[in-house]
Chains A and B, each alone.
Chain A
Amino acid sequence: MTYPRYVFVWVALVVLTAITVTTASLNFGRVGILIVLAIAAVKSTLVLLYFMNLLFEKRLMFKILVPIAIGVLTIFIALTYTDVLYR
């Protein structure tokens, strides 16, 4: 990584923020939340891969940590949703 690459990632993050805010004011209704969350996921992936250096990490241990945490959270959320939806 070099300075210009870091700046490029930052520009991408700012542009994505602008897109999120614009999307929200366009009012996509129910799909809006999905678009906004997808953009947030892309932004955090950029931060994880480039700023937190996971892209250049050679050790498997570090590469699997975040997917594990996201997996656990997904299970929590999915199970809770089925409970709330079919109550």
Chain B
Amino acid sequence: MSSSHSTSADIQGEGVRARLGLWLFLLSEILLFGGMFLLYAMYRYKYAPDFHAGSQELSRFDGTLNTIVLLTSSLTVVVALHSLHVKHNVRRTAIFLAATIALGLTFLVVKSFEWTAKFEHGLYPGAKFLLSQSHGLILFFGLYFTMTGLHALHVMVGMGVLSGVLNFVLRGKITPDHVTIMENGALYWHLVDIIWIFLFPLFYLIT
């Protein structure tokens, strides 16, 4: 009895250490994006009219849609975790994990439509048309593609992680008592959502 107790305590301790490790990684991510937000803030301060003009070129509808999509995916992943950890419902967990991955894919599809439209209008870094525009506009689109691109990369990584988690859940490797990997996958996914919460108003809603 006492040995089984210490085993479960070990697993708990391991879970806490793993979670702390992931949080430290998330902090490094915040600083990575933070540096870019800082650059954005300085250039926006210096080239306010150009940033306004650049923002007008972006589709406010697509941006809002993608915000709702990511917020919803945060809900589905938390429901998936709750279904497994608290309710012990593997089937529901799998369904909501799959829904989260599908929402991530939806986000990327909308994003790709947006980028394609920008490419067609010659609004991408190094494009002849963009280079003929004002300095601030070039910087705006440089930052736009770098920051939303890096964010989209994070969405792809998150989808990969959650696919792995789904695989583990289906094969019984993640059980209601051993959810650490899934917990960490969900935390990463939420951080990706938080970064978008800031990207959206800063690029799409400049007045």
A residues near B (Cβ < 8 Å) are 1-3, 6-7, 9-10, 13-14, 17, 20-21, 23-24, 27-29, 32-33, 36-37, 39-40, 43-44, 47-48, 51-52, 59, 61-62, 65-66, 68-69, 72-73, 76-77, 80-81, 84
- Contacts of A24 on B, CB cut-off 8 Å? 60, 201, 204-207
- Contacts of B198 on A, CB cut-off 8 Å? 37, 40, 44
The 27 sampled A-B contact pairs (Cβ below 8 Å) are A2-B82, A6-B79, A7-B75, A14-B68, A20-B205, A21-B60, A21-B64, A24-B204, A29-B207, A33-B206, A40-B197, A48-B190, A48-B194, A51-B74, A51-B78, A52-B187, A61-B20, A62-B23, A68-B27, A69-B30, A69-B34, A72-B31, A73-B34, A73-B38, A80-B41, A80-B42, A84-B42
Q: Can you list, as one digit per residue, whether each of B52-69 has a CB less than 8 Å from chain A (1) or not (0)?
A: 000000001000100110
Min distance, Cβ A22 to any Cβ of chain B, angstroms: 10
Query: Taking the complex as formed, is B50 at the interface, i.e. its CB lies under 8 A from any CB of chain A?
Result: no
Query: Taking the complex as formed, is B72 at the interface, i.e. its CB lies under 8 A from any CB of chain A?
Result: yes
Q: How far is the CA of A36 from the CA of B38 in the complex (A)?
A: 17
- Contacts of B127 on A, CB cut-off 8 Å? none
- Contacts of A72 on B, CB cut-off 8 Å? 31
A40 and B201 in contact, given A14-B71, A17-B71 (Cβ under 8 angstroms): yes
B residues near A (Cβ < 8 Å) are 16, 19-20, 23-24, 27, 30-31, 34-35, 38, 41-42, 45-46, 60, 64, 67-68, 71-72, 74-75, 78-79, 82, 186-187, 190-191, 193-194, 197-198, 200-201, 204-207
Q: How far is the CA of A32 from the CA of B201 in the complex (A)?
A: 10
Residue pairs across A and B with CB atoms within 8 Å: the count is 101
| Set B41, B74, B187, B201: member contacting A36, Cβ < 8 A | B201
| Set A37, A47, A51, A62: member contacting B201, Cβ < 8 A | A37
By the criterion CB–CB under 8 Å, are A43 and B41 in contact? no
Min distance, Cβ B106 to any Cβ of chain A, angstroms: 16
- Contacts of B201 on A, CB cut-off 8 Å? 20, 24, 36-37, 39-40
Q: How far is the CA of A10 from the CA of B193 in the complex (A)?
A: 12
By the criterion CB–CB under 8 Å, are A21 and B31 in contact? no
By the criterion CB–CB under 8 Å, are A3 and B79 in contact? yes
